[in-house]
Amino acid sequence: MSTTFAESILKFTEHVQIERGLSSATADKYDYRLNRFMQWMQHHLEKQVIHTKDIDLDVIRKFRIFLSNKDLKESTQYNYLVTIRSFLKYLVRTGEGIVEPEKVVLAKYSPSQSVKFLNRDQLKDFLEAPDTRIIAGLRDRALLELLFSTGLRVSELARLNRNDINFKIREFSIVGKGGRRRVVFLSDEAVEWVSKYLDRRDDTYVPLFLHYSGPHASKWVDKPDVTTKNASMSSKGSKTLEKKKPDQGHLGEVEEFLEDPDGERFRLSVRSIQRLVKKYAKKVGVAVDVTPHVLRHSFATDLLQAGADLRTVQESLGHKNVSTTQIYTHITNPQLKKAHEQFHGSWRKRTKEN
């Protein structure tokens, strides 16, 4: 009896994490794409339950046409087909494969070599945009400085706990894609603002960055703040937030606290980080479509322009292969051209002048 598509997706996503060592984020993407493919098959074949034997080249070809008609990006279409190919290879290894993976024609896709990044003037305005008189703004300044200082992926940043960072040696290790561990370093600004943010917090929660909105916002109250250097104004106009202790008369709040003493429900999510990055880019009028990954690009660009070699940048970003890091090499080309014009063949120029 053929295994259902849904069962095989579950086993496949477990396989890519356990056997291939891929991250849970990558496994989630595979799961999402394959479930979308299964849902399309349910509609296309008019069947509620899809089995792996229902997958054939004609079905895949029609799904590819469907993707093309959805006006999706080339990269998105390509990733769907690569995921299906990987899934088919897995089915072949488990003895359930009917379609040869190599016969799945991939969508045309030429990865763009252009890299979006912020120049130094844009970075200065962007990093200084948060209002640090309030704790949410102080959190945001700390978060932005940490992103630019370390080049972390947004998922890596969201996972950070307050005890992960060693302020004494100004560095910490992070586990990135594929379970690869690397060390990242803190700038003076990152140390300053993350320290200020943690000093302002009146809680013992584990997550490094907390959210101060949503269904749990009522658990936080304003209090005067005079700790930041921006607090020259009266404490009446400068506020922060502190965690209310559970009211012993409200059993629900006590139970909720006991169920989540680490405060995971307050952890700032990946999506929230993406939104706040866009918010500050809009606030300062940056023309570039700024995302957390643009700050990662800006980090790498800053290192290269300061003279770091490609291998160093590769290690800092946690890239498995230096070929991935080579997308940044064109950034230094204008500097190379200028150096070439200034120094190459200089002896000839001197001869002509004489």
Q: What is the C-alpha separation between 111 and 104, in angstroms, rounded?
A: 20
Compute the average pLDDT of residues 134-162. Answer: 94
The pair of structure tokens assigned to 62 is: 């029609």
Mean pLDDT of 211-229: 53
Does residue 142 carry a pLDDT above 70? Answer: yes
Lowest mean pLDDT among 15-19, 115-119, 302-306, 320-324: 320-324
Per-residue pLDDT, averaged over 57-63, amounts to 94
Q: Mean pLDDT over all residues of the chain?
A: 81
Is this model's pTM higher than 0.85 or not? no
Percentage of the chain lying above the pLDDT 70 cut: 77
Give the integer Cα–Cα distance in Å for 333 and 329: 7
Question: What is the model's pLDDT at position 51?
Answer: 93
Higher-scoring residue by pLDDT: 270, 329: 270
**What is the average per-residue pLDDT within 196-218?**
84
Per-residue pLDDT, averaged over 134-143, amounts to: 96
Residues 6 or more apart whose CB falls under 8 angstroms from that of 94 comprise 11
pLDDT-based confidence at 260, cuts 50/70/90?
confident
Please compute the mean of the pLDDT values over residues 160-183 and round it to a whole number.
89
- pLDDT tens for 282-330 read 999 987 788 998 888 888 888 887 888 888 888 888 887 777 777 776 6
Residue 241 above 70 pLDDT?
A: no
| pLDDT value at residue 256 | 58
pLDDT at 313: 82
- Residue at token pair 């299906």: 84
Biggest CA–CA distance in the chain, Å, is 94
Q: What is the DSSP string of 54-94?
A: G--HHHHHHHHHHHHHTT--HHHHHHHHHHHHHHHHHHHHT
Structure confidence at residue 207 (pLDDT): 96
Amino acid at position 36, single letter = R
Using the structure block, give the residue that is written with the tokens 């087909």: 81
Q: What average pLDDT score do residues 256-284 get?
A: 88
Stretch 31-60: mean pLDDT: 94
Give the per-residue pLDDT at 258.
Answer: 64
Q: Which of 169-178, 184-193, 225-234, 325-334 has the highest mean pLDDT?
A: 184-193
Which tokens belong to 86?
Answer: 């990987």
Domains of the chain: 5-103 (1.10.150), 120-302 (1.10.443.10)
Q: 177 with 318: CB under 8 angstroms?
A: yes
Task: Give yes or no for residue 11 having a pLDDT over 50.
Answer: yes
Residues 6+ apart with CB under 8 A from 174: 150, 152, 156, 160, 164, 181, 182, 183, 184, 318
- Residue 332's contacts (CB-CB under 8 Å, 6 or more residues apart) are 304, 305
